[in-house]
Amino acid sequence: MSHDISTLRKFVSPEIVFGAGSRKSVANFASNFGARHVFLVSDPGVAAAGWVNEIVTLLTDAGIRSTVFTGVSPNPKVDEVMTGAELYKSSECDVIVAIGGGSPMDCAKGIGIVATHGRNILEFEGVDTITNPSPPLILIPTTAGTSADVSQFAIISDPNRRFKFSIISKAVVPDVSLIDPEVTETMDAYLTACTGVDALVHAIEAFVSTGSGPLTDTHALEAIRLINRNLEPLVENIADPYLREQIMLASMQAGLAFSNAILGAVHAMSHSLGGFLDLPHGLCNALLLEHVVAYNFQSAEDRFRRVAEAMDIDTRGMSKPEIKKRLMQRIVELKRKVGLEARLAQLGVSVSDIPHLSGFALQDPCILTNPRKSSLRDVQVVYEEAL
């Protein structure tokens, strides 16, 4: 009896500790990995918020030395990864801990790869290019949205090509993810909105992806439901610990879904924008979302109906065009209510950039699992609509 290999699904995830105060077990996990000298990756904003000092203290109290590296920009660059890896080697570190949003977490993943291969991070672009195991990696997310802490993605910017490239491999799934809603309390309303909509995009793209399946669908739908109900109230009241926990949970579930089902055209186009104009990733996703939903709808009508239902739209008796219209209205309304109304033109994108952006978007691995096949012209049209 022959089995079609394409129907097989695997599900990869780190060891996850979820809940208020989970960051405090960082020294315990580091010790379990035999850490004597931790390399702590973060960025200036997270350091200013006081989280870096707290982690250093927790490690020091457990008798573990640490070297802190905060030289990470909002879209982590090739040379930042290389500088971090040099410092990791020269300090003779043995375990990597990152605390921050997607950028420090992705940078930490890159540092781990370079530290064990001794080659430029550019050489690891693509799928399954990593041969040597990275040092033990413990990630502590400070934003509820990017899900780098549970994913098999690392996204690095190459300023020379003005291109964001993806490294996709089981090897970049961290060993431990300490998901602590308390750490997100220092996010402002704007960052809360950007990263929350980022998580919504992860969940929607994973649910309609050609790589989706029963192991990812439940996570994706629950993430959509949680964000649809809790993001607006949280942005209005960012101090609410219950709402923060709901959005953190949604972000984690969205991450488990997209890490395994992969993503789609929103991310391919967003990575292209972020590489070309160095814009915030969550914002790029937000601006493109309803335009890509409109483009993809015909290729996954039943899936989008279930997305609409997860966004509390009662689709009984609705025609397909009506479902599409209501879903797009709800997405636009959610974005407006959390303050993400900008359009690409306001961010400095011009019509003349679109051919360039579209070419890069088609090179992104996320385009491969988009439910509707995309030509260069298709991608250009979607960019034009988002201008």
Residues 163 and 279 in one domain: no
Identify the domain boundary among 147, 169, 184: 184
**What's this model's pTM, rounded to 2 decimal places?**
0.96
Tell me, what's the pLDDT at 8?
76
Residues 118 and 225 in one domain: no
pLDDT digits (tens, 9 = 90+) for 250-299: 999 999 999 999 999 999 999 999 999 999 999 999 999 999 999 999 99
Residues 169 and 237 in one domain: no
Q: Which two tokens stand for residue 188?
A: 């402002």
4 assigned to some structural domain: no
Order of all β-strands in the sheet with 65-69:
15-18, 176-179, 137-141, 95-100, 37-41, 65-69
Q: In which domain, by residue range, is 330 found?
A: 189-386
Tell me, what's the pLDDT at 2?
53
Identify the domain boundary among 152, 184, 216: 184
Residues 120 and 258 in one domain: no
159 assigned to some structural domain: yes
Going by C-alpha positions, the residue among 175, 179, 174 that lies closest to residue 142 is 179
Residues 68 and 206 in one domain: no
- Using only the alpha carbons of the chain, give its radius of gyration: 20
244 assigned to some structural domain: yes
- Per the rule left: phi > 0, alpha: psi between -120 and 50, beta: everything else, 340 is beta
Tell me, what's the pLDDT at 79?
98
pLDDT digits (tens, 9 = 90+) for 294-336: 999 999 999 999 999 999 999 999 999 999 999 999 999 999 9
Q: For 138-159, what is the mean pLDDT?
A: 96
Helix (H) / strand (E) element for 274: namely helix 265-277
Number of structural domains the chain divides into = 2
Residues 331 and 212 in one domain: yes
Spatial contact of 309 and 163, defined as CB atoms under 8 Å apart: no
Q: Which two tokens stand for residue 285?
A: 């996703």
Core vs surface per residue 64-99: b (16+ CB within 10 A) or e: bebbbbbbbebbbbbebbbbbbebbeeeebbbbbbb
Share of the chain above pLDDT 70, in %: 98
8 assigned to some structural domain: no
Residues 331 and 260 in one domain: yes
Tell me, what's the pLDDT at 241?
97
Residues 176 and 232 in one domain: no
The CATH number of the domain holding residue 37 is 3.40.50.1970
Q: Among positive and negative, which fits the CA dihedral 200, 212, 125, 292?
A: negative
Identify the domain boundary among 128, 163, 184: 184
3 assigned to some structural domain: no
Tell me, what's the pLDDT at 9?
83
Cα separation of 358 and 269, whole Å? 7
- Amino acid letter for position 130: I
Residues 201 and 330 in one domain: yes
Whether residue 4 has pLDDT greater than 80: no
Residues 51 and 27 in one domain: yes
Spatial contact of 174 and 149, defined as CB atoms under 8 Å apart: yes
pLDDT digits (tens, 9 = 90+) for 343-365: 999 999 999 999 999 999 999 99
Whether residue 1 has pLDDT greater than 60: no
